[in-house]
Amino acid sequence: MSKPSSRRSRVEKCARLVFRCGAGAGSCCPAAPVAKFGPQDCRPTRNTARDRALFTALQRQHPNGRPGVLRLLLYRKSKTKPNGKKPEEKKLYLEPEYTKNRVVDFDLKELVVLPREIDLNEWLASNTTTFFNLINLQYSTISEFCTGETCQAMTACNTTYYWYDEKGKKTKCTAPQYVDFVMSGCQKLVTDEEFFPTKYGKEFPNSFESMVKKICRDLFHVLAHLYWAHFKETVALDLQGHLNTLYAHFIVFVREFNLVDPKETSIMDDLSEILCSPLPPAPTPAPSAPASAPSPSSQNHVTER
């Protein structure tokens, strides 16, 4: 007996063998484990009219056959996810019930504008040190939830941040490791008299502005991670108002002095536009009716018992 030459004859022969064996679990057919495959995991080997017609013909020829076997004959397991795109996660921190929570309700730009007769570097140093302390404190409130198991990478808005050491070596690390690198590096700089001088008359180094920009960029990564990965814990602690105010103050500051590249902060632009705009004025309560003055007789009335 000659071997079948066409693809269709080979497939039909295999199909007859499968259905003759019953195609059940534990049958003698090597295709029995087909139950592991499903329509959601499979796609056509070749999306041609010939393949579709052959699949339909096999279904008609074996109406009682198991569909999974037919799929196994003509389909292969897909290596891509359905639609090829990951569904976008809902950003809880953009919900109006949370964005309206602020600690202050005035224009934060008034706090960051350089005052008259104040040196620019002194102003940058003072604010950068303050933001480092506040962001470090804010992160400490949820640090027990940010572990190597829960945050295996430093992510924010589908962006993964890598740490670059002093030699420029790129390293992928967990979120708590990344934050530790950021805070340790900032602490080392802001407490070093060579970089952040506090004594009167001592000049700032020429590289001071570039160091401030690096610190602010790294601190932004921490803030973005807090919103992206730990906003639920922040809400549970009722600290979303503090986080919102801190974030808005920081963004207004770095924008005022162009300390962080807008491309770097663009992943949080939706939140920035909401929080950096002033809150709408609270509705004015309707005036209440004036209370009637008590009559002299009622003032002097004494109840006897």
From residue 148, alpha-carbon distances to 137, 144, 169, 285 in Å are: 20, 11, 21, 50
Find all residues with CB under 8 Å of 246, minimum gap 6, and list them: 134, 135, 138, 223
- Residues annotated as binding site for Zn(2+)? 146, 151, 225, 230
- Residue 179 tokens read as 């934050």
- CA dihedral angle for residue 199, residue 201, residue 202, residue 208, rounded to 10 degrees: 100
Q: What are phi and psi of 273, to 5 degrees?
A: -65, -30
Q: Which of 228, 269, 223 is nearest to 247 (CA)?
A: 223
Cα 211-203-255 angle, rounded to 5 deg: 40
Determine how many CB atoms are found less than 10 A away from the CB of residue 239. 17
- Residues annotated as binding site? 146, 151, 225, 230
* DSSP-derived pairing of the beta strands 42-44 and 75-77: antiparallel
Q: Which of 172, 146, 173 is nearest to 229 (CA)?
A: 146
SS3 155: strand
SS3 75: strand
Buried b / exposed e along 151-172 (16+ C-beta atoms within 10 A): beebbbbeeebebeeeeeeeee
At position 170, the amino acid (one-letter code) is: K
